[in-house]
Structure 1
Amino acid sequence: MSLRFAVLTLLDIEPGSGYDLKRRFERSVSHFWSASHQQMYRELHKLHQEGLLDCEEQTQAGKPDKKVYSLTELGRAELREWVIQPSAPQKIREPFLVRMFAGHNLSRDEQRDAVEAQLHQHRASLQNYQEQNERVLKSDTALQERYWLAHQTLLFGIEAEKTWIRWAEGLLEELEESVKT
């Protein structure tokens, strides 16, 4: 996948400025795809040049004009063509797991501290996802129906965080047991 299709997907939901798009990205796609602000703007310009996006300038009092992007029919067709293609499963790219793979270089206290820090981060992510899920469940029924599959990605994130938490808690228990023996 590329940022191109994340941008097309977010603009398919609703037209918006680069700023709007970045905020939407941070609240949704950023949980499983990363991009900097600069990358996002470069991609918007590129997609516009390719005729996949329209750009309407809106005058703002005391500020530079705001560029609002929306999908063209060509952009919508490219998005649809991409969506119907099968995706190959991706391998996990998790720096923490590489650190744990080399964890024999750490003392038991350092191992425990590393796992506890990771556990704290995953608990915070789980809480964030659960709060987002509550907002989705309180949203308009028509929106829930339209974005049902998008909501499933959030539910997957919740389950992934629960799995991380169970794994880390089990690992901490085993580290505690190894200290006792």
Structure 2
Amino acid sequence: MVLLETESGSGYDLLKRFKQRLGFFWQASHQQIYQQLKVMHQAKLIDCTIEVQQGKPDRKIYAMTQAGHKELLVWLNKACKPQKINDSLLVKLYGGHLVDKVVLLDEMRQHREQHNKALYIMLEIEQQYQSLSHHERKSLALPFLTLRRGILGEQAWLAWADEVEAFLSSQKSSSTDFR
């Protein structure tokens, strides 16, 4: 609903915007987004118009209704519970004494690649933001602060990964050395 508040669009448009703007912080599959659009449309929180296309299937364009806007404001005014971490890598590391350190180092390197990629993209977005006019930056200040949280989170993860990898690299190969 947050994405529809500022700009209407098709399910595909919303999926694209979601991945570009919120995908670093919230995970949703293609199916989840379309299911949620259906639920919100049935609840009259969003409207749907059909856009006829030449040589392609018609597009459904979704837009926020007044009821949807009110519902979004109710949600925005409610306090969120702090999110708990469900990170299987942390569980693997916790039980890492049962495997050879090479297994853990390989997994850390794979995760590092993903976190480096995410950080790179976020830093590029930050540069784009910094190149905007003062007025444009002001209107995007809150999304920018969300981006900053993502950048700091990725930097912290990478610093932690340095510690883990340094420790693992200093250990002998036997899994029993961690006990």
Q: Say whether the fold is shared (TM-score over 0.5).
A: yes
Equivalence for 1:62: 55
Give the residue type in structure 2 aligned to 1:132. I
Equivalence for 1:147: 140
C-alpha displacement at 1:139, in angstroms? Answer: 3.8
How far, CA to CA, are the matches of 2:12 and 2:132 in structure 1?
23
Matched position secondary structure for 1:31? coil
Q: Indicate conservation of the 8 Å contact 2:24/2:118, yes or no.
A: no
How many equivalent pairs are there?
A: 174
How far, CA to CA, are the matches of 1:118 and 1:95 in structure 2?
11
Q: Indicate conservation of the 8 Å contact 2:4/2:63, yes or no.
A: yes
Q: Which runs of 5+ in 1 are unaligned?
A: 1-7
Equivalence for 1:3: none
How far, CA to CA, are the matches of 1:108 and 1:38 in structure 2?
38
Q: What do you get for the CA RMSD once the two structures are aligned?
A: 1.8
Q: Indicate conservation of the 8 Å contact 1:53/1:75, yes or no.
A: yes
Which structure 2 residues correspond to residues 84-123 of structure 1 after superposition, within 5 A? Answer: 84-123=77-116
Equivalence for 1:72: 65
How far, CA to CA, are the matches of 1:38 and 1:110 in structure 2?
34
How far, CA to CA, are the matches of 1:108 and 1:37 in structure 2?
37
Matched position secondary structure for 2:57? strand
Matched position secondary structure for 1:64? coil
Q: Could you list the structure 1 runs, at least 4 aligned residues long, displaced by more than 6 angstroms after superposition.
A: none
Higher relative contact order (CA 8 A, sep 6+): 2
Deviations 1:23-43 (A, max 9, x none): 001112121211111111111
C-alpha displacement at 1:140, in angstroms? Answer: 5.1
Q: Indicate conservation of the 8 Å contact 2:122/2:151, yes or no.
A: yes
Normalization by structure 2: what TM-score?
0.89
- Amino-acid identity (%): 34
